[in-house]
Amino acid sequence: MRHGGQGRGVRRRWLLRAGLGLLAVLVLPCAAFLALDRLCPPDLSRLETVGQVVLDREGRVLSALPAPGGVWRLPVGPEEVPTHLVDLLVAAEDRRFRRHPGLDPLALGRAAFQWARAGRVVSGGSTLSMQAARLLEPRPRTLRSKAIEAFRAAQLEWRLGKQGVLRVWLTLAPMGGNLEGVRAGALAWFGRPVERIGVAEAALLVAIPRRPEALRPDRHVLAALAARDAVLRRRGAPALPEPERLAALAEPAPSARHPMPGLAPHLSRELARRAGAAPLRTTLDAGLQRGMEGLARDALRGLPDRASIAIVVADMGSREMRAVVGGEWLAEGRAGALDLTRAIRSPGSALKPLLYAMAFDRGLAAPGSVMEDLPRRFGDWAPENYARGFSGHVTAASALRQSLNLPAVALMEALGPIRFASALKRLGAPPRLPPGAAAALPLALGGAGITLRELVGVTAATGDGGRAGPLRALPGPPGEGEMVVRPQAAEAVAAILTQPFPEGGPEGVAWKTGTSWGGRDAWSVGFDARHVAGVWVGRPDGTAIPGATGRSLALPLLARVFGTLPAAPRPLPAGTAPRQAASGPVDALRLLFPPAGAVIEPGAVTIRAAGGRRPFTFLVDGVPLASGGPRREAGWVPAGPGFYRVTVLDAAGVAASAPVRVRPAE
């Protein structure tokens, strides 16, 4: 009995020792691996040092930006590429990728046997995980490097998993020249995003990294074709119907490299500096952006040296920018690296619509109010109109439409510059004043700095019922936006500004121009029922363009901008004749008597009007007559013989006038 008990004790001790030994065999290597992994973590800096892809609102590529050093290394993961690309990669490079922990003993054994027999490397035996390790930390092809790569492969599998290993390969695989990764390869070799490549194109991207310089299709097209076809015929490649396989094998390889996409270069770089590595989606529209850049490029040909153009187009309701042209990118002599939509410049008269809307909102004036455009001093300041003349008595609507300066300064005096500056700040356009200066009356004529983006945002408030809201380039829910003026006041100004373009363009657009002192900045902003847009023309260095005005330089370009946009016309104010109508509609405001060029006998005259919108104001040489209002006629007694100009204005500010002569008395 004692002997049997001793035997069982011995067996238990042996089993315990064997178990401890087996545990040591299993645990100690794992413990050693974990310790080494903590002491020597893999260097992922190359994977993290990447460029940026900027997308439009539909996910189309707007622009690609290189990584530091000019390398086109763009991040991409396996979930972002077609499944046939990953399937071709695994079939060509590592068929057991899904089943091994980073090292493939069968492949390594085969490679060692072939090396021993041939005395040279016949097959590498590298798994995709080992290739990923080599892409992260390139080393000379030695046995020591292989050992390090094997350890790193296990680390990557442990830390990143299979999807992470694929991400490394897809992002860093060399594609010839300064191209790395399948995203950059697809853009450069096929001119399309990697998400949209076909089977033949995917096979070429899998093949090139084996010998990236020898298989560049722009230099070695036949070798690239042969390597691609070998990938397509590889055992384990995705099963394709025979017609599709034959079609893939028949596809030509690209023979030249496509330029990287570069739309909206200024905005793309601005946003990329604040974003991570993932593709960045914006609110822009790639097609519209391309059109606006082409439009600006065409217009530059007719401008003086060193002049440049900036354009902003946005959706009225959401305030999302759809196109942003900051200038001619990197154009020599035009400060092409500067984003001129963010340059602080004087807006000239382009802020007058907000001034009039605020005045209407506070009852200081109405569209039909008669105002004086006559010489006047405001303290030590005596403003003048751009044309140096004066129009006498005019309605507020006419003063705004003609951009007269004296009525605007008078409104600013009544409203208060501080109140106007506060409204600009609430609209996201705080006026930039000289150091130590306070808001003053010159604000009415552009006496403060503003950017094109801010000016378009201010203009959007007029077109959107007085609602504030900053422009934005990144998607997200729109803000509520406070009301800066009441909708009735904003709509009154919008109706005044809705008029045909002088040199032709789409109907139903409200627009306003601005010219800074000396012709340094030419502006035009406008809106229809859906869009708001702004154009700036000038020299980035601030020097003047002789004779430049917003009406002559910026307004024709704004008309072309709205001609490019989908039509969304605002309703024309009653009494406004469409530009293309030769005789005008029946309700167009017109003078029935006296007709233009009439010779009138001295004595009482009855002036008669037709069409238009009540109430009416009748003027002779800018001086309003006592009668008018809802009536369509007014009495006038000429002061004596001579030439006079008779004018009628309706409630919308539409004018009709005629020059007449009064005979001397017999």
Cα–Cα distance for residue pair 262/297, rounded to 1 Å: 15
At 420, the amino acid letter reads F
Q: 242 an active-site residue?
A: no
Q: Are 585 and 355 in contact (CB under 8 A)?
A: no
Burial class (CB in 10 A: 0-12, 13-18, 19+), 487: middle
Cα–Cα distance for residue pair 569/510, rounded to 1 Å: 9
Residue 219, number of CB atoms within 10 A of its CB? 14
The 3-state DSSP class for residue 508 equals coil
Q: Which two tokens stand for residue 350?
A: 């382009």
Cα–Cα distance for residue pair 572/496, rounded to 1 Å: 9
Catalytic residue among 93, 180, 491, 507: 93
At 502, the amino acid letter reads P
The 3-state DSSP class for residue 84 equals helix
The helix-helix angle for 487-497 and 452-463 (nearest 10°) equals: 110
Cα–Cα distance for residue pair 527/312, rounded to 1 Å: 12
Residues in Cβ contact with 454 at an 8 Å cutoff, skipping those fewer than 6 apart: 427, 428, 429
Catalytic residue among 268, 308, 346, 349: 349
Name the nearest CA neighbour of 373 among 550, 561, 624, 194: 624
Q: 482 an active-site residue?
A: no
Cα–Cα distance for residue pair 161/157, rounded to 1 Å: 5
Q: Which two tokens stand for residue 494?
A: 């919008």
Omega of the bond prior to 105 within 30 degrees of 0, cis? Answer: no
Q: Which two tokens stand for residue 111?
A: 């490679």
Q: Which two tokens stand for residue 472?
A: 């934005």
Residues in Cβ contact with 663 at an 8 Å cutoff, skipping those fewer than 6 apart: 599, 600, 601, 602, 641
Cα–Cα distance for residue pair 208/224, rounded to 1 Å: 7
Burial class (CB in 10 A: 0-12, 13-18, 19+), 336: middle
Cα–Cα distance for residue pair 496/369, rounded to 1 Å: 13
Active site residues: 93, 349
